[in-house]
Amino acid sequence: MFPRLALALFLALLAIDPALAQSKAVKSDASAAAAAAAAPPAADSSEVRFSGEAFHGQAFERDIGHNMFFRLTPATSDEGGGWVIQILPPYEDQDDPVEFSEIATPPYHAYNDRYLAGAFGYSAKEAVEARIRRFYFVKSVADINAANEVVNAALYPSSASDADRSRIAAKAAGIELGSGELRIVRFRIATSKDQPDVIAWLKFDVVLNFSPGITLQQILAPKPAPASPR
């Protein structure tokens, strides 16, 4: 009896072991896929693509390589909430914060494509109706300092001499930018009788190009579009 029982157990183990091995392989493959999805892109990737979701009052952050992070930062405006697109270094200095897209994305001191928010008089609904946001960013702290001088001269031209204008124009041509595009895929607006509507949820796709061949000079003084033939 015992030899038969031992044989039966042996045959059962032979049948189970392949299933266990297959289960472990599936789990291993799933873990590897999840790790690959969470891993930052290669540092030399000239183009980075990803998708994400953001919820009201919560930030979304993604390592985009190149020693930078993409972040949707909750807006502080009371006009409907939402987010501001930011490109950040991997560290945060509370005394001297650094952000790479604000200086490179006009118009300045006004609503622009970095805002996915009810702000500057725009409602939450109006904010999400523009499905595509295009923005630019410098790629180093040194470029921020140089871009600040260029943008100040562009905003307040009377403060610069002719010699300074020539020097600053040359500097602007030498500041190469990265570009980004965020496309809103889906959204949900939460309504209230007593408070402004808010953007409760957002699903989006992002494409970042680190070598688009665009300079700050081109952003500040774009060439006029060619006239259409009559």
Tell me the per-residue pLDDT of 25-61, one tens digit each, with 9 for 90 and over.
434 443 443 344 445 665 558 999 999 999 999 999 9
What does pTM read for this prediction?
0.77
- Any domain includes 16: no
- Compute the mean pLDDT over every residue in the chain, rounded to the nearest whole number: 81
**How many domains would you assign to the chain?**
1
Q: Tokens standing for 139?
A: 């790629």
Per-residue pLDDT tens digits for 153-179 = 888 887 777 788 888 888 999 999 999
pLDDT in tens, 11-26: 444 444 444 344 444 3
Q: Is 8 inside any structural domain?
A: no
- The answer to whether residue 113 scores a pLDDT higher than 90 is yes
Higher local confidence (pLDDT), 165 or 228: 165
196 belongs to a structural domain: yes
Q: How many CA atoms lie within 13 A of 93 on its CB side?
A: 7
Task: Flag whether 226 is in a domain.
Answer: no
CB pairs under 8 A, 24+ apart, for 37-43? 40/64, 40/65, 41/65, 43/67
- Mean pLDDT for 146-159 is 86
Does residue 40 lie in a domain region?
no
Q: How far apart are CA 48 and CA 136, in angstroms?
A: 14
* Residue 23 included in any domain: no
Between CA 141 and CA 135 the distance in angstroms is 18
Q: Say what percent of the chain tops pLDDT 70.
A: 75
Say yes or no to pLDDT of 213 above 80.
yes
Q: Which two tokens stand for residue 210?
A: 């680190």
Give the residue carrying structure tokens 């509507």: 197
In a domain, 10, yes or no: no
**Is pLDDT larger for residue 63 or for residue 196?**
63
User: Is the pLDDT reported for residue 183 higher than 60?
Assistant: yes
Give the structural domain span for 103: 46-220
